[in-house]
Amino acid sequence: MDKNHHNIYLDYAASTPLDPKVLEVVNITMAQVYGNASSIHRFGLQAKAVLDTARTTVAESLNARPDEIYFTSGGTESNNLAMQGVASQFSKPGNIIISAIEHPSILQTARYLKSRGWQITLLPVNRMGQIDPEILQQSINSATRLVSIMHVNNEIGSINNIEACAKIAYEKNILFHTDAVQSFGKLPVDLRRVPASFLSLTGHKIYGPKGAGVLFIRRKTKLGKLFFGGSQENGRRSGTENIPAIAGLTKAVELCQINRDADKSHLEQLGSELRELMKLQLPEARLNGGENGVPNIQNYSIPGIDNMSLLMGLDLAGIAISNGSACSSGDVSPSHVLRALHLPDKELKSSFRISFGRFTTSEDIKHAVRSIARFIKKKQPGRQ
């Protein structure tokens, strides 16, 4: 995308641009690998080979095995498959524990399961937006069948200790799922250390294509399915595989590994620049969840500011930020994540999210903060 000052994209947590190297792979695969991976002729085998390589590469990146990797259409499907798939294995509804700040694809699935008789426990978070593993430990009861805790929150960037949470569930013989959609490529995710039964990923948050995701399902874990049909993905996810998107997702995973150190220092550098500039130019802004989260997702509240008009004002200036829950843009109801942080009501509508990534520059950040400060000064002329 055109990257001049009038076109600054700071909404990477909603979706990332494609890495050009991913685009190349998607294009070539789309044009050349058109066989059905289930066909037995050479065109089918060619597609199957792409799929096999993809499974191995993704598995290696997570320290998992290739037969534990299932390709889906994205994070939403992976989260649904894990939760509904577990629930359908039980003849009687039990208890599911999730955090209060999960993505809607977990929260709404929990709500649906509640309507089917399941009891849902919502774990609170602390001021930094993290769940306390001890509270998780105390919340588990004899009816608990599944625990689902996200790794990194998409609105405020807070990080959960999923290793500790997974171990607690594992010791009690309870299935554990983590939504790692926002953490993959930013934090190490090692499934030999984290005894999770399930883990969700999506391509479009890691510079890969939309409509491709992964559910890791640990060996020997029983799981029902969402779709009935052919025997693709070991019978667990019917439907002809989206080979170009899966190839793109795989390239994106590979690039996250290759660029790991460079991405990390780039994001840390920009993250601290953003925090410093905000402190200097907008000292009244509050960083929701504090400074312990991932550097690339920062959520601020500025008292007296209407976030929707800020968003639209900045958009006119060519700068794209978000009101926080970008996955449902147009949704203006106050964020459940900020509510869980116990933000006062008036601050809920004065919050906005800046999220960035591999292709963001220091200039982009400087320009964005300057524009936010200018916008606010215009709205509050008396302000220094």
Ligand X SMILES: Cc1ncc(COP(=O)(O)O)c(C=O)c1O
Q: How far apart are CA 20 and CA 381, in angstroms?
A: 43
Closer CB to ligand X, residue 35 or residue 209? 209
Interaction of residue 99 with ligand X, rule CB under 6 A: no
DSSP, residue by residue, 7-45:
-EE-BTTT-PPPPHHHHHHHHHHHHH--S-TT--SHHHH
Minimum distance from residue 59 beta carbon to ligand X (Å): 19
Interface with ligand X by CB under 6 A: which range of 70-78, 160-168, 274-282, 348-356? 70-78
Minimum distance from residue 337 beta carbon to ligand X (Å): 10
DSSP, residue by residue, 77-113:
HHHHHHHHHHHTT-SS--EEEEETT--HHHHHHHHHH
Minimum distance from residue 82 beta carbon to ligand X (Å): 11
Give Rg (Cα) of the chain: 21
Binder among 46, 95, 202, 351 for ligand X (CB under 6 A): 202
Minimum distance from residue 10 beta carbon to ligand X (Å): 16
By residue count, the chain amounts to: 384
Closer CB to ligand X, residue 283 or residue 330? 330
Minimum distance from residue 371 beta carbon to ligand X (Å): 25
353 contacts 324 by C-beta, under 8 angstroms: yes
Sequence-distant (6+) residues with CB within 8 A of 182 are: 13, 150, 151, 152, 153, 154, 157, 205, 294, 297
Q: How far apart are CA 202 and CA 249, in angstroms?
A: 8
Q: Within 302-361, which residues bind ligand X (CB under 6 A)?
A: 327
Interaction of residue 103 with ligand X, rule CB under 6 A: yes
Closer CB to ligand X, residue 8 or residue 206? 206
Closer CB to ligand X, residue 213 or residue 289? 213
Q: Would you please indicate which residues are annotated as catalytic (active-site) residues?
A: 327
What dihedral angle (degrees, nearest 10) is formed by the CA atoms of 23, 26, 28, 31? -130
End-to-end CA distance of the chain: 36
Interface with ligand X by CB under 6 A: which range of 59-67, 68-76, 83-91, 350-358? 68-76
Nearest residue to ligand X by CB is 75
Interaction of residue 76 with ligand X, rule CB under 6 A: yes
Q: Residues binding ligand X: what is the number (CB under 6 A)? A: 15
Binding mask 150-179 for ligand X (x = CB under 6 A): x---x------------------------x
Kindly tell me the burial class for residue 44, based on how many C-beta atoms sit within 10 Å of its own C-beta (0-12, 13-18, 19 or more). Answer: middle
Binder among 35, 74, 295, 313 for ligand X (CB under 6 A): 74
Closer CB to ligand X, residue 194 or residue 282? 194
Cα–Cα distances (Å) from 90 to 145, 222, 371, in that order, read: 9, 10, 54
Structure tokens at 268: 């840390």
Phi/psi at 131 (5° precision): -85, 150
Binder among 10, 50, 75, 184 for ligand X (CB under 6 A): 75
Closer CB to ligand X, residue 35 or residue 211? 211
Q: Which residues bind ligand X (CB under 6 A)?
A: 74-76, 79, 103, 105, 150, 154, 179, 181-182, 202, 204, 213, 327
